[in-house]
Structure 1
């Protein structure tokens, strides 16, 4: 019985080691990072709401790698070396992505052979320009200009513009202490928008907030924002 026991133990050990070898692949170690830009200016969005897809041809039915964009337009991913296809799916982001001859979302070839930094050019519907934030008498005041970038048949109107303030650097519709929204007639002059909000009580007390202006475009889920600004009282 003892030889048979040793044989069975040795067989199980070989099976276990073989299984471990199959499971312990190296983790992806190649860095792919950059920004989403329009004419070298970062596109500011809501953190975690906008992403692009990376597909690696030749890997059967494996799914896309979703790469999130942070609120200041930056992205970062760990990949294996190889060839990828980059695409924004329809209705992702406050911008248009090029289409191919068949009318589908076009792809951009990305070759990873060592780490790569790459800015990705998009066409936003609008850009928030000349944003200014000040504090006085317990209020945060702001102003900006909205530049309409897409003016052809794909042009869209603005649904609302919103001043958001928050006690942390994450500032958007889901992360704010308070906000002021402009709609309708208040949007008549896109060259001169003005906002003002009263700063609520902050616990624990701090003498600053972070502010951004967000723009909701009609028929587009994701907002575009001004750059983040720290406002001292």
Structure 2
């Protein structure tokens, strides 16, 4: 019986040591932050529901599944990581840009900056959105970047928070069969009770290319 008791005691100590070892693993402390750009300018993106995803890979580990990094609606992203070399790519067939998926090599140490350069199908500039007498009016210049690409739809979106995209909104107006260039779009909110009762109102224009899963977006305007 003493031998059995000794064996159980040693086993318990071994399990305790393993448990303590697991508890004492260091947590990642380095910080990777970056931006998604075209010609040096950050792109307006969908920042909710995991709309735009980047993938980080680190060689030398048994688990080769990517670390998913989500972009925010101003085109920035961040992740807390261990120091070391990483490979960063855009998610396959995700985003309002050409699906090139060029690999970016990043050496993470402390606070590290990086830039993901993409070629969007379209860009938005000279945007302006106003609210007057229950009519939300938006104008912008849509520039075609990738030839042989068509506009699937232009969206004017309003939200009661500063998060605005095609899934997060309380009112929207869509236009189809639109050509690149100066575009005007308006939304009558007089009969929209969600909009009327909102204490704050934000708006944004989105442009989605045919075949793309995501739209590119304008800056966000606060209307009230």
* TM-score under structure 1 length normalisation: 0.86
* 1:78-102 deviation per Cα after TM superposition (whole angstroms, max 9, x unaligned): 111111111113312111254xxxx
Alignment of 1:147-186 (within 5 A): 147-151=143-147, 155-184=148-177
Query: Match of 1:5, SS?
Result: helix
Alignment of 1:1-233 (within 5 A): 1=1, 5=5, 8-47=8-47, 48-98=50-100, 105-151=101-147, 155-184=148-177, 187-188=178-179, 190-199=180-189, 200-202=192-194, 205-206=197-198, 208-232=200-224
Unaligned runs of 5+ in 2: none
Q: How many residues align?
A: 220
Runs (4+) of structure 1 exceeding 4 A deviation are 1-4
Aligned-CA RMSD value:
2.0
* 1:37-59 deviation per Cα after TM superposition (whole angstroms, max 9, x unaligned): 11221111112211111111122
Contact 2:106 2:114 in 1 (8 A): no
* TM-score under structure 2 length normalisation: 0.89
- 2:3 and 2:221 map into 1 onto residues whose CA distance is 75
- 2:80 and 2:202 map into 1 onto residues whose CA distance is 30
Query: Match of 2:27, SS?
Result: coil
Contact 2:170 2:195 in 1 (8 A): no
Unaligned runs of 5+ in 1: 99-104
Deviation at 1:149, TM superposition (A): 1.3
